[in-house]
Structures are given as C-alpha cells and as structure tokens.
Amino acid sequence: MGQRSRTASAVRLQPLVVIGSGGFGRDTLDVVDALNSDRPTYRLLGVVDDDPNPRHIRYLRDRGIIHLGTVADFLASGLRADYLIGVANPSVRWRIAAMLEEAGLSPATAVHPMAIIGSQVVIGAGTIVCAGVQISVNVELGRYVQLSANSIIGYDAILESFVTVNPGAIVSGDVTVETGALLGSGSIILEGLRVEYGAIVGAGTVVVNGVCPHAVVKGVPAR
C-alpha cells in the first residue's frame, strides 16, 4: 500500500524544465529544490540553454541534471512540461517566453519557502522569487519577474512584467518599475518614484528621481 501511494504521488509531480544554465538559472534550480523539499511539486526534466558555458554544464552534471539542448531542441522533442526561465536579461527572457507560449507551454511560478511575502501580494505567472526576498503588503508583481536573493520590495510597489531585481536591491514603497527594467545589485529606489520601460539601474546606485525609458543610470545619486 505504501509503495503504491509513493508511486501515485510521484506520478502527480508536474514535469518542469528550467531555461538557462547561468547563475540565475542555477539559482532557479535551488528554488525548485527548496520547493520540492518543502512539498514535492515538480519533476525536473532538465535544463535548456542555447549556448551554455562548458563550466555551467559541468556544474549541472555534478548535480545530476541533464542539459536538454537548445530551446529549439526542447520544442522539437515534443516534451510537455511547465517551465521557468532563469535568464536575468529581460529582453532575452521576453523572447524565450514568446517562443514557449506560442508552442502552447505554460510558465510555472516559483517562490522560495524562505522568502517573506506580505498580505495581498499578487504574483504573476513565470515569476521567480529567491531565498531571503522580502515583499511587503499590497505589492503587484507582473509576469516573468525575477527577484534575486535578499532583495526587498516595499509596500504598494508595482513591478511590471519581465523586471529583473538583482541581489540586495531595495525597491521602496509606492515605486513603479516598468516592463523590462533591470535593477542592479544593491541599488536603492526611493519612495514613490518610477523606473520606466527598459531602464537599467547600475549596481549600488541610489535613485532619487524618476528614470526615463531605456536610460542607464549609476552612481549616488543616480545620473
């Protein structure tokens, strides 16, 4: 009876692939491992990467994880699985998401059990939240948002789709970060500001005024 129960439980695990073998791709694998340790949810089929670094493939092999080839290889294989895109570059992530959605596949959503999530938080499909992230109340996260370890999102913040927040960045309350923007490690966005479409905020930058679309700002204060 116990063996049948374990087998049935294993069958119910959702097949999953992770796109990307770089740093955030392997961070994503850690999130999946933590979720499965907390409550078995996914059956990881492997990692997809169009141009993997041989060192990254070695790291995957050391973890017992298979490289499934390119995105095109995966789509041609006919495998049906949910996916997480562990690629930090917003525009590349957007392009990959379009390919996978056009093929009729569905994004998973992964929130590390050691993230702190406030009340009335909306998390869009495809979003990945790493360990140590703190999200305050009434926050909205769009689709395919990435929150790296120990980043902080303040109350009433809105992060639109395909936003990347690197480790230790702080988004203060009532901030809006528009689609495709990237916030560098340790950057700080002060309260009530707007980081517009496709902007890049450099590591350690303190943003004291709004950031224009596609601007690249750095320094203290941001310039």
Average pLDDT value for the chain = 94
pLDDT in tens, 33-76: 999 999 999 999 999 999 999 999 999 999 999 999 999 999 99
List C-alpha distances in Å: 218 to 95, 162, 186, 202, 222. 26, 21, 11, 5, 5
Q: What is the pLDDT of residue 12?
A: 85
In this model, does residue 9 exceed pLDDT 70? no
pLDDT in tens, 90-115: 999 999 999 999 999 999 999 999 99
Cβ burial, residue 195 (10 Å; 0-12/13-18/19+): buried
Q: Could you give the CA distance from residue 61 to residue 22 in angstroms, rounded to a whole number?
A: 14
Q: Could you give the CA distance from residue 131 to residue 125 in angstroms, rounded to a whole number?
A: 18
DSSP letter assigned to residue 120: S
Q: What is the pLDDT of residue 1?
A: 39
Q: What is the pLDDT of residue 3?
A: 43
* Mean pLDDT in residue range 184-190: 98
Predicted TM-score (pTM) of this structure: 0.93
Amino acid symbol at 162: F
* Mean pLDDT in residue range 123-138: 98
* Residues in Cβ contact with 196 at an 8 Å cutoff, skipping those fewer than 6 apart: 178, 181, 210, 211, 212, 213, 214, 215
Q: Work out the pLDDT band at 6, boundaries 50, 70, 90.
A: very low
Counting DSSP H helices and E strands in the chain, the numbers are 5, 21
Q: Which residue, 210, 144, 211, is CA-closest to 180?
A: 144
* Residues in Cβ contact with 216 at an 8 Å cutoff, skipping those fewer than 6 apart: 199, 200, 202
* Residue 114: HSE in the Cβ half-sphere, 13 Å Cα cutoff: 13
Q: Which two tokens stand for residue 133?
A: 């992230």
